[in-house]
Structure 1
Amino acid sequence: MASVDVTASSSSSSSSSSTIKGSYYPSWTTDFTPSDIDTTLFSHIFYAFLSPSNITFKFELPEPMAAALSNFTTTLRFASPPVKTVLSIGGAGDAPTALLAEVASSPSSRKDFINSSVEVARKFGFDGLDLDWEWPKNPKEMDDLAHLLREWRLVITEEARATKQPPLLLTAAVYFASDFFLDPVYRMYPVADIRENLDWINAMCYDYHGAWDTSATGAQAAFFDPKSNLSSIHGLNSWLWAGMPRKQIVMGLPLYARTWELKDPNVTEIGAPAVKPGPGGGLLTYSEVQVFNRNNSATVVYDAETVSTYSFSGTSWVGYDDVASAMVKIGLAQALGLRGYFFWALSFETEWQISSQASRAWILDD
């Protein structure tokens, strides 16, 4: 088992920085509304996602979208207790990725995008803005990201001074590691600019394995991996080694599983040979995992080596985090001195099993 490195970069932020207990709200979920959120469990909720126009690079909101944003912030502002809201821009997929690359590519498009984002955040009462660019694909786009963050922070600072309001938060969802060491085109995040201009980063510590690799099962959010650097400890330490302060790093946890169909139902360990995606076409929410386990009398295994859980029944194999593995990860994140954690995503669990345990497990240091 790899060791938890607690001697890497020291934080330039105050140790009293408020703990982040975050989760992303998928706006397309029709059977889960902002009023369904238990705000006692979270400090920040991220509205996912909004995208600018691919022509003007501004946010042009039709009436239904405007109403949804207003309902989201109003509901959570007046909840008991209230929770801070952050508007997340972008998301996974080729279209938002290409659009954000275009936005960041020139001073004029960055200016239009930034000004419009701040205007929308203020108009609808958000406490901050979050950039989910998955991912800048080459060194030039990483440079563009640095320009975008510097200019964004400047506008936020000037707007707060002019309006005498608290400055908007500025965060980003980022790759689990500070560099793309697995890709043919090697590139690294502009860590100095991220450190200086973002309040914190949401490191996406999941999707290390999935049905895109049908040859073998895998711990999709392994905290440790004795066989490779596809692990949260490697990714988090890479951010620390690159100079990111601990109190500006928030660790991501998945509320969903990756699944496979086993080649041999008698070979069931992590890394077992597989032939195709499993139940749910390769993905199940945590609620669906519980149904699968119950309906199939599945065998459930906690793997201490990777800090992950998996279950299997027949040839179906499901890898995920349950309460046990998630709580160990919460403890490890605190041992690293991180700012907090976030989940992808709200509505993926019922009765708040993992979220409630995580909120209790994080020992407040502020």
Structure 2
Amino acid sequence: MASTGVVKAGYWLCDSAFPVSYIKSSLFTHLFAAFADVNPNTYQVTFPTLHKHQFESFTQTVQIKNPGVKTLLSIGGGASGVASTLASMASKQENRKIFIDSSITLARENNFHGLCLSWLYPSTAVEMTNLESLLKEWRAAVEIAARMTTKARLLLTAEVFYSPDICSARARYPCKAISSYLDWIHVLAYNFYTPNSSPKETAPPAPLKNKRDVSLCVEASIDTWITAGVHAKTLVLGLPFFGWAWILSEPSQHGLFAPAHGLAPVVQHKSVDGSVPFAGVKKLIIVDQKATTVYDETYCTNYCYADRTWIGYDDLESIISKVTYARKEKELRGYSAWHVGADDNWSLSQKAFDTWDKS
């Protein structure tokens, strides 16, 4: 069952070039270092070579400003080939043991308080069954390790899709195992719309509500997980500190679901896939005097536009509505931000932190 305690979490992404020492750790109860690698041949968990020192000193560094913050090592991520490596690892007991043992050793040796599985995403029923075995064996292993070392048990968490069903319900997460073996899960309740999935019209990437399609929003996401049997206190709501950029077909039509021509290459913010960090969105708004910002109360989402560029994102208003919803309406375990390096002078992190305490 889930352990007690509120989660106000943030992820640090090693490839973001954001120094660990810059993290304002006083705004978080838990910080995640992302991502540790999994060797595709041996299934050993290791630190990325280029960022090895940052991972090794992560806990020590963030605890300078907040001695009470808990750190977790996130393993996997969305890079090419990672999902297939994790699927292969989970398919055999001997592979799972190598993965589990090496993850525990790496976390213990580098003073992490827990581990997070970032398998994006198991896509078949067989992979979900293997995930269940992995979670059961991982939980047993961290409990044995705790008894042997007389140290606190490592926390176990995972990042999950916004719905317990993936690929049109062909694959459902093992919800009973999640409830039994994990302390909590991070529900990635965003990317409901992107320029790739909705190329012909703008759309809210992570709306709290959605009157056009009630299944594609935060409310539906959380409800489906609870209906599937995962307790609210095992759910942590993912907050996206980034937006998605579309090219408007006509600058005069610039609302939600306006005609568009796919993703906008926001070159000035070094975007590759059309996503833009929140700090980049704010820079666009400030630098381009023609930029207009809108908060849509119906969808509880922000967007801005300038000439033919249209960006849907979360700003202070969206963060307030989502954190209030998570804390007051659904009584979730907490929230987690992806990722701290994308924030703009800690404005979203501060607002989420304050809103949780006030709601």
Instruction: Classify the TM-score, shorter chain.
Output: over 0.9
Measure, in 1, the Cα distance between the counterparts of 2:153 and 2:73: 14
Q: Which residue of 1 aligns with 2:323?
A: 330
Query: Contact between 2:2 and 2:179, CA under 8 Å: does it hold in 1?
Result: no
Task: Give the structure 2 partner of residue 289 of structure 1.
Answer: 281
Matched, 1:104 2:90: yes
Is 1:127 equivalent to 2:120 in the alignment?
Answer: no
Provide the residue aligned with 2:195 in structure 1.
211
Q: Which residue of 2 aligns with 1:318?
A: 311
Q: Determine helix, strand or coil for the equivalent of 1:276.
A: strand
Deviation, structure 1 residue 60:
4.5
Q: Whole-Å Cα distance in 2 between the matches of residues 62 and 48 of structure 1?
A: 10
CA change 1:184–1:244 in 2 (3 A) is closer
Question: Any idea what the Cα deviations from partners look like across 1:44-91, whole Å, max 9, x if unmatched?
Answer: 111010112111111345775442222212112333344111000000
Residue in 1 that maps onto 2:172? 188
Which structure has more relative contact order (CA 8 Å, sep 6+)? It is 1
In the alignment, the residues of structure 1 paired with residue 279 and residue 46 of structure 2 have an alpha-carbon distance, to the nearest angstrom, of 35
How many Å separate the matches in 2 of 1:232 and 1:355? 19
- Pairwise mapping of residues 265-304 of structure 1 onto structure 2 (< 5 A)? 265-280=251-266, 282-297=274-289, 298-304=291-297
Is the counterpart of residue 18 in structure 1 residue 40 in structure 2?
Answer: no
Q: 1:172 aligns to what?
A: 158
Distance 1:62 1:135 in 2: 21
Which of the numbers 321, 336, 347 marks the counterpart of 2:341? 347
* Cα displacement string for residues 95-131 of structure 1 (whole angstroms, at most 9, x for unaligned residues): 1111100110000000111011001000111000000
TM-score, normalisation: structure 1: 0.92
CA distance in structure 2 between the aligned counterparts of 1:82 and 1:187, rounded to whole angstroms? 38
Q: Deviations over 1:284-341 (max 9, x none)?
A: 1111111111222311110111110001111110100001111111101111010100
User: What is the identity, as a one-letter code, of the residue corresponding to 1:48?
Assistant: A
> CA offsets, 1:197-246, max 9 Å, x none?
00000000111111213111111001111121111111100010011111
Alignment match of 1:85 (pick from 59, 71, 84): 71
Distance 1:19 1:299, change over 3 A: same
In structure 2, how many angstroms separate the alpha carbons of the residues matched to 1:13 and 1:276? 41
Contact 1:39 1:82 in 2 (8 A): no
Q: Structure 2 CA distance, aligned partners of 1:117 and 1:13?
A: 20
Describe the superposition over 1:116-162 as per-residue Cα deviations: whole angstroms up to 9, x where unpaired: 10010001110000000000011000000000000000000111011
Change in 2 beyond 3 A, CA 1:289/1:205:
same
Q: Kindly report the root-mean-square deviation, in angstroms, between the aligned alpha carbons of the 2 structures.
A: 1.7
Structure 1: 5+ residue stretches without partners: 1-11
